[in-house]
Chains A and B, each alone.
Chain A
Amino acid sequence: MEESSGKTTKKHPWFWSSAVASIVLRLVLIVYFPNTLNFSSRPEVSTPITSLRRLAEGYWLKQSSMSPYAGSMYHGSPLLLSILGPLTGDRGEGQSHLLCGLAFVIADFITAILIRAIGQLLQVADIQSLKSLGASKFSKTSENFPAGDIAALVYLWNPLTIITCLGYSTSPIENLMIVLSLYGACRRLVPLAAFGLVMASHLSLYPVILIIPLVLLIGSGLDTPPRKLFLQPNHGDGYKKTNFSWRRVVLFFLWASVWALYVLVLCSISLKEYSGLGEMFKRTYGFILSVEDLSPNIGVLWYFFAEVFDFFRDFFLIVFHINILFMVLPLAIRLHHRPCFLAFVYIAISSILKSYPSVGDSALYLGLLGLFVNALADMQFSFFLFSGYLGTLLLSPVMHNLWIWRGTGNANFYFATAMAYACFQIILVVESVSSMLNHDRALKKGATPVAKKIQ
């Protein structure tokens, strides 16, 4: 694996230059345009959970010996408060959040590097399994496109990622933790995977569902074509049967509980003088689950819960949260042989249906989408989706401006863009899932004749 990754870097020196260029772009924007690009107040970028301004308020409350969760300003993790809080202090005019910006740039860069490493691992595994299947047609295309580099660059140059980074929202750190757990699982570094998962779900509840792809990754290895293809009698050679390693999974759960305990202990230490863990859970997870804040964002739940009759509120809360959980099992059954793709689908679904979505979440799954560039090459509606994303993301600030600032439009204008955005995201998920399934079918079709030829 090391050799192959070395090869790809030699082959594509342009990766590093463009990655560095994207970092430089971020730094230039942060240092020279700190106030002109006021992304931090955009509802698309900073949600009540990820807003750095709220974090600064929580830090201020903590500094003045109050619970950071007093009032309903801060809803993030106490650990984030201890790490990022000191960086939010005012350092003169215009320089306010420079250090935080730097932290987010670094987080973005590490995320991109990890995505690239995942991509390389996936590619190697893909080529191996395709070769063993004898589907040389597919393996050639797979070698041509360095999926890791593409995914990392898509992540780094995605305007959504750049906006999130400049908008001082804490989602780059959440994304880093999610990608870290995926990387750890791909590498089968059990403690790292467990740490990433625990931290990510500590920061924003939803990554908890990633436990299924992570277990699959740790247990049975990287993405492969469906197992039954290998089991067909005509090409049993080249394929060595890998068992589901329960030992590693048990180890993963052990590590996860150790990390969870560790995180809880750290949280209770940092909250010791002010409040307990109970309040923390109420203010973070409770806030996420009960959709208390009705300020607009690119999701659809805020307007729904602003309008829905109080009597039905609990019912719809349950329905919408169950909706995420409901698809977890069918997807896991159908895509269990591709845990990385499964993780991508889960991330995409949770970022569509989560209570306070932001473009930072979209940036992550769009980056991960690049990992499957070979498999999803013949995805339908890709141009339509691209223009749809572009259109809604350009319209959304316009509609927000019309509604909030000019008062010439009303809430429905903004809600309509949020609705359209949700629809495009849904189409993306559905299309990527069905084209991945089609890809597997094509593999089957492609594999059989080759195998016959060999025979």
Chain B
Amino acid sequence: MSRFLSISILLLFVLHVSSESAGEEEFTEELLFRPLPDRKVLSHFHFESRAPPTNSYGHHHRLFPKAIYQLVHKYRIKQMELSFTQGRWNYDSWGGFDPIASSNAKPPGVELWAVFGVPPDQVDASWKNLTHTLSGLFCASINFLESSTAYSAPDWSFRSLSGNLRYGSLPREAVCTENLTPWLKLLPCRDKSGLSSLMNRPSIYSGFYHSQRLHLTSDEFDPVALHGIMLEQTLTIVLQPDSLETHPSFSGSRKLQPSWSMSSLFGKTVDGKCALAKSSNVYVQLEGSLVYNMKNTWNSIDSYEGDSNFGFTVSPDRMMKEINSIDKEGYSILYGFSINNDHSSKPFDLGFWWKLPVTWSCVKAPLRVSRFLMGSGNEKGAIALSLQSTEWSQSLLKADNNGEKCNLRVDVFQLVPWYIKVYYHTTKIYVDGASQSLGDIIEKMSVSPSEDKVSPGVMEMILRLPCDMKSASLTLEFDKGFLHIDEYPPDANQGFDIPSAIISYPDFQTRLQYKLDTTSIKSPMVSKMQERRTILSYTEVLLVPLTTPDFSMPYNVITITCTVFALYFGSLLNALRRRVGEEERLRKSKDKSTGKLRLLLSKLSAKLRGKPWEPPSSTPPSSSSKFISTKVVIKIILIAAIAFGWQYYDG
């Protein structure tokens, strides 16, 4: 007995040690709310699953989705991001500088990029297989990215990790619940319990912006695997809360921001945390300028107290303040709420209400970017990229380097489908309305021009814009292509989409550093926010109308064109072989004298038929008829021989 006990203890110990060294599978769920200046609320779900490296942990997983694990292993994915987005992130009023905006604001439709750990010649094959797999996994037409006209391999302007990266996007893809359900299936609790139970489809899809994202990182194929696979699933929604209650006292000049609660936003409450989750937290983030404005007007808060501008229905467990804020005036505050399973009596329903009206504005990206089309008609046009400076960036840059001539680095990555035939030599840059020479502004430019029906045009650029400029614009002329009748989508007259361009500012890096107090538990979302990341913003998707041929015409066109060709051939041949009287007579007299071939043929046919040969000239009508018949026979034999030969060689 003691022996058995000792063995079992040993076994337990060994198991424990092994699990300690390899790490555990982990799943965390988090939800962040942030009031937005334009009376909307951002809610950001963040689910993170980790699987330890296979070589130390093995192939079997308790929490980590098997589909993703197999995907990573099959295609040797190092990093991958897939996003489904509906609506457009409003960079002006929802912010463009914070980590959520630069990592979760995505272009409309589907965006997919992946880095593969395979030799460079196999990357395209892996990409194609991956698109098909994901298309099946998420019930979306991601398989359209398989075609070489839809994806590209950016060299340096996108994510700076080049080589085995492939990038593609489908701006037209409609995103709906059928994409969300498979995404939820990857969560261990699905949407049955935990924070994901808030995802009430009607309220999610009635929002202003909706982006579901799946980010994979794995170091499985590195020589020393430390972290294994990390799957990050985020869902970012911008919702308009209905005002719960209106304060009569402030209904005058300044309107109170709308108050909201989980139940008012989603129509649901959280019953408890997902039993499999390591931690389940809800955060409310107040931006720096909001905190600053509140401090200015009401000089109250240093910590959450009852007499501040706002109130929570549930008192926060933690409060974190931002340190090393970029915005020197204010610091952001993060209120944390833990969801535990112990209060089973009352469901968790976080509410937020304002006591006093307040206005603030978000931290914007260094430049306000928009892209539009110029020109009219369906023959040609121009793409214009307009970059306008925001006041904030100017002040920041002035503070950064006063004295020497400062410039702002902007990276542009643009993918254009092949039917937009861009003339790259027509690139023009205007700074504050004045045309500039390209060499002054463009530091580096690499272009891979589009090839008809083979590859899209990719343009990567580094611009150095002077800091004191108000606006800059970049124009490129293009010709619109004409497609084959089969290449048009069913709704051809709607137009074709040019995917968003990606503008990034490598000089600026965003991070929100919160002073973590000792009691706070390790939160993957907060640590994500603390990572340095480059500010990215996406431009609008462009809709280019292309001319269409007449779709009902193929038969008419074929027959009419062939008629014209027949007209040409027939009439020219007729003109050439037409003979008039005299020539005809001449030819006949010639025939009589030297019809050697005919004589020979008639002799041959006579022999074949076993009849005595008679000269054809003796009885003209009968001989001619006979001759025609031999001709026909010879022709038939010839045709039969050709047909036989064809059959023989073809079969």
CA distance A268 to B377 in the complex (A): 40
CA distance A293 to B479 in the complex (A): 12
- Stretch with Cβ within 8 A of A (4 or more), from B109-117, B123-131, B548-556: B548-556
Q: Report the minimum CB–CB distance from B574 to chain A (whole Å).
A: 8
Residues of B within 8 Å of A127, CB to CB, are none
- Which single residue of chain A is at the shortest CB-CB distance from B545? A407
CA distance A57 to B476 in the complex (A): 12
- Which single residue of chain A is at the shortest CB-CB distance from B449? A71
Q: Mark B469-487, 1 if CB is under 8 A from A, else 0.
A: 0000000000101111110
Q: Mark B553-588, 1 if CB is under 8 A from A, else 0.
A: 110011011001101110111011110101100000
A341 within 8 A of partner (CB) = no
Contact among A60, A70, A300, A307 for B485, CB-based, below 8 A: A307
Q: Report the minimum CB–CB distance from B155 to chain A (whole Å).
A: 13
A306 touches B485 (CB 8 A): yes
B573 touches A330 (CB 8 A): yes
CA distance A53 to B426 in the complex (A): 10
B565 touches A323 (CB 8 A): yes
Known A307-B554, A411-B547; judge A294-B484 contact (CB<8 A): yes
Residues of A within 8 Å of B577, CB to CB, are 330
B450 touches A310 (CB 8 A): no
Contact among B377, B424, B481, B548 for A57, CB-based, below 8 A: B424
A294 touches B482 (CB 8 A): yes
Q: Report the minimum CB–CB distance from B311 to chain A (whole Å).
A: 58
- Which single residue of chain B is at the shortest CB-CB distance from A54? B423
CA distance A427 to B571 in the complex (A): 9
Known A310-B484, A326-B569, A433-B572; judge A407-B378 contact (CB<8 A): yes
- Which single residue of chain B is at the shortest CB-CB distance from A306? B549
Known A73-B423, A403-B547, A426-B568; judge A308-B447 contact (CB<8 A): no
A12 within 8 A of partner (CB) = no
Q: Report the minimum CB–CB distance from B145 to chain A (whole Å).
A: 21
- Which single residue of chain A is at the shortest CB-CB distance from B565? A323
B46 within 8 A of partner (CB) = no
Q: What total count of A-B pairs have CB within 8 Å?
A: 145
CA distance A203 to B571 in the complex (A): 30
- Which single residue of chain A is at the shortest CB-CB distance from B481? A295
Residues of A within 8 Å of B482, CB to CB, are 293-296, 302, 306
A4 within 8 A of partner (CB) = no
B425 touches A59 (CB 8 A): yes
A433 touches B550 (CB 8 A): no
Known A412-B550, A426-B564; judge A441-B580 contact (CB<8 A): yes
A104 within 8 A of partner (CB) = no
A264 within 8 A of partner (CB) = no
B391 within 8 A of partner (CB) = no
A15 within 8 A of partner (CB) = no
CA distance A254 to B569 in the complex (A): 34
Residues of B within 8 Å of A293, CB to CB, are 452, 482
Q: Report the minimum CB–CB distance from A451 to chain B (whole Å).
A: 15
B507 within 8 A of partner (CB) = no
A307 touches B553 (CB 8 A): yes
Q: Report the minimum CB–CB distance from B441 to chain A (whole Å).
A: 16
Residues of B within 8 Å of A427, CB to CB, are 571
Residues of A within 8 Å of B424, CB to CB, are 57, 60-61
Contact among A303, A323, A403 for B568, CB-based, below 8 A: A323
Q: Report the minimum CB–CB distance from B578 to chain A (whole Å).
A: 7
Residues of A within 8 Å of B479, CB to CB, are 295
- Which single residue of chain A is at the shortest CB-CB distance from B547? A404
Query: Secondary structure at chain B's binding surface: helix, strand, loop or mixed?
Result: mixed
Q: Mark B159-187, 1 if CB is under 8 A from A, else 0.
A: 00000000000000000000000000000
A70 touches B448 (CB 8 A): yes
- Which single residue of chain B is at the shortest CB-CB distance from A58? B425
Residues of A within 8 Å of B484, CB to CB, are 294, 305-306, 310
CB proximity to A under 8 Å, residues B537-552: 547-550
Contact among A41, A56, A73 for B449, CB-based, below 8 A: A73
CA distance A385 to B452 in the complex (A): 38
Q: Report the minimum CB–CB distance from B579 to chain A (whole Å).
A: 9
Residues of B within 8 Å of A304, CB to CB, are 557-558, 561
A433 touches B576 (CB 8 A): yes
CA distance A427 to B576 in the complex (A): 14
B576 touches A330 (CB 8 A): yes
Known A57-B423, A73-B421; judge A327-B573 contact (CB<8 A): yes
B379 within 8 A of partner (CB) = yes
- Stretch with Cβ within 8 A of B (4 or more), from A206-214, A386-394, A415-423: A415-423
Residues of A within 8 Å of B575, CB to CB, are 430, 433-434, 437
Residues of A within 8 Å of B376, CB to CB, are 405
Q: Report the minimum CB–CB distance from A40 to chain B (whole Å).
A: 11
A72 within 8 A of partner (CB) = yes
A45 within 8 A of partner (CB) = no
Query: Secondary structure at chain A's binding surface: helix, strand, loop or mixed?
Result: helix
A292 within 8 A of partner (CB) = yes
CA distance A326 to B576 in the complex (A): 13
Contact among A296, A331, A426 for B576, CB-based, below 8 A: A331
Known A60-B425, A70-B449, A307-B557; judge A405-B379 contact (CB<8 A): yes
Q: Mark A111-132, 1 if CB is under 8 A from B, else 0.
A: 0000000000000000000000
Known A61-B449, A308-B558; judge A411-B425 contact (CB<8 A): no
CA distance A326 to B566 in the complex (A): 12
Q: Report the minimum CB–CB distance from B195 to chain A (whole Å).
A: 49
Q: Report the minimum CB–CB distance from B493 to chain A (whole Å).
A: 10
CA distance A307 to B549 in the complex (A): 8
B571 touches A430 (CB 8 A): yes
A383 within 8 A of partner (CB) = no
A404 touches B377 (CB 8 A): yes
A334 within 8 A of partner (CB) = yes
A430 touches B550 (CB 8 A): no
B245 within 8 A of partner (CB) = no
B457 within 8 A of partner (CB) = yes
B464 within 8 A of partner (CB) = no
B380 within 8 A of partner (CB) = yes
Residues of A within 8 Å of B614, CB to CB, are none
CA distance A441 to B448 in the complex (A): 61
Q: Report the minimum CB–CB distance from B581 to chain A (whole Å).
A: 10
- Which single residue of chain B is at the shortest CB-CB distance from A59? B425
A410 within 8 A of partner (CB) = yes
Instruction: Give the one of B418, B453, B572 with max A CB within 10 A.
Output: B572
- Which single residue of chain B is at the shortest CB-CB distance from A320? B565
CA distance A382 to B482 in the complex (A): 36
Q: Mark A282-323, 1 if CB is under 8 A from B, else 0.
A: 000000000011111000101111111110000000011001
Known A293-B452, A306-B484, A310-B486; judge A64-B447 contact (CB<8 A): yes
CA distance A61 to B459 in the complex (A): 13
A71 touches B554 (CB 8 A): no
CA distance A60 to B483 in the complex (A): 26
B580 touches A327 (CB 8 A): no
Residues of A within 8 Å of B582, CB to CB, are 441, 444
- Which single residue of chain A is at the shortest CB-CB distance from B376? A405
A415 touches B557 (CB 8 A): yes
CB proximity to B under 8 Å, residues A335-370: 352-353
- Which single residue of chain B is at the shortest CB-CB distance from A430? B571
CB proximity to A under 8 Å, residues B473-530: 479, 481-486
CB proximity to B under 8 Å, residues A44-97: 53, 56-57, 59-61, 64, 66, 70-73
Q: Which 3 A-B pairs have the closest CB atoms?
A: A71-B449, A60-B425, A434-B575
- 20 new A-B contacts, CB < 8 A, other than A57-B423, A304-B557, A426-B571, are A57-B424, A60-B425, A61-B424, A66-B449, A70-B448, A70-B449, A72-B421, A293-B482, A307-B485, A309-B554, A327-B573, A403-B547, A411-B548, A411-B549, A411-B553, A419-B561, A430-B575, A434-B575, A437-B575, A441-B582
- What are 27 contact pairs spanning A and B, CB under 8 A? A41-B379, A41-B380, A57-B449, A59-B425, A60-B425, A61-B447, A61-B449, A71-B448, A72-B449, A292-B452, A294-B484, A303-B561, A305-B484, A307-B558, A308-B557, A309-B554, A323-B568, A327-B569, A327-B573, A330-B573, A404-B379, A405-B378, A411-B550, A415-B557, A419-B564, A426-B567, A437-B575
